[in-house]
């Protein structure tokens, strides 16, 4: 699952219009990524389309940071803008963590959402996803876990079943 897939699935889950989704890129004052509607549509295009443009990790991070600001408000004090280089890496664990923050989910909320998406994890397995990569019990988040979390989120937010 690449960043473009994640962006498409999140846009659908939250039922954002293109205009609303583009606005998220600029909501976080700490973000320096700028996106217009034409650029955004190229990131929503399928991989085999002629106008497809790969969504960079820094762009997806800006979108998720904007989602956090939309759902929770700005942090006080607001962070100074920090440019993320094009080689910035955003792991699936980071994506899951940002979604957890945006939705203000506690452990049980996360487990319920994963369950609705078709994945059953124990509390310790879930905790391992949020540990530091240097921790001995750290576990990398796989595509299926992230896909099913977004699927469960879609079921919660839109009240409908979706294909994996």
Residues 88-92 have a mean pLDDT of 90
Residue 78 lies in a domain: no
Report the number of distinct structural domains present in the chain.
Answer: 2
Domain carrying residue 146? 92-158
Domain boundary among 43, 72, 101: 72
Residue 86 lies in a domain: no
Residue 128: strand, helix, or coil: helix
In percent, the amount of the chain with pLDDT more than 90 equals 76
Angle between helices 143-158 and 3-13 (to 10 degrees): 20
Residue 146 lies in a domain: yes
Task: Output the pTM of the full model.
Answer: 0.89
Report pLDDT digits (tens) over 33-74.
Answer: 789 999 999 999 998 999 999 999 999 999 999 999 999 988
Residues 130-157 have a mean pLDDT of 95
The residue written with tokens 């998220």 in the block is: 24
Residue 40 lies in a domain: yes
Mean pLDDT, the chain, whole residue set:
90
Domain boundary among 16, 37, 72: 72
Residues 138 and 108 in one domain: yes
Residues 97 and 146 in one domain: yes
Report pLDDT digits (tens) over 9-44.
Answer: 999 999 999 999 999 998 888 777 789 999 999 999
Domain boundary among 27, 44, 72: 72
The pair phi, psi for residue 128, each rounded to 5°, is -65, -25
């Amino acid at each position: 699952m690449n960043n473009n897939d994640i962006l498409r699935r999140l846009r659908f889950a939250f039922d954002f219009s293109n205009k609303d989704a583009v606005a998220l890129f600029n909501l976080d004052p700490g973000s320096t990524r700028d996106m217009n509607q034409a650029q955004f549509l190229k990131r929503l295009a399928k991989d085999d389309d002629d106008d497809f443009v790969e969504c960079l990790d820094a762009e997806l991070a800006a979108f998720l940071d904007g989602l956090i600001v939309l759902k929770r408000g700005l942090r006080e004090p607001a962070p100074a803008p920090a440019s993320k280089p094009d080689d910035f890496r955003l792991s699936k664990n980071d994506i899951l963590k940002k979604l957890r923050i945006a939705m203000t989910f506690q452990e049980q909320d996360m487990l319920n959402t994963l369950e609705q998406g078709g994945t059953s994890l124990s509390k310790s397995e879930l905790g391992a996803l949020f540990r530091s990569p240097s921790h001995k019990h750290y576990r990398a988040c796989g595509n299926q876990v992230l896909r099913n979390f977004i699927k469960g989120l879609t079921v919660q937010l839109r009240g409908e079943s979706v294909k994996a």
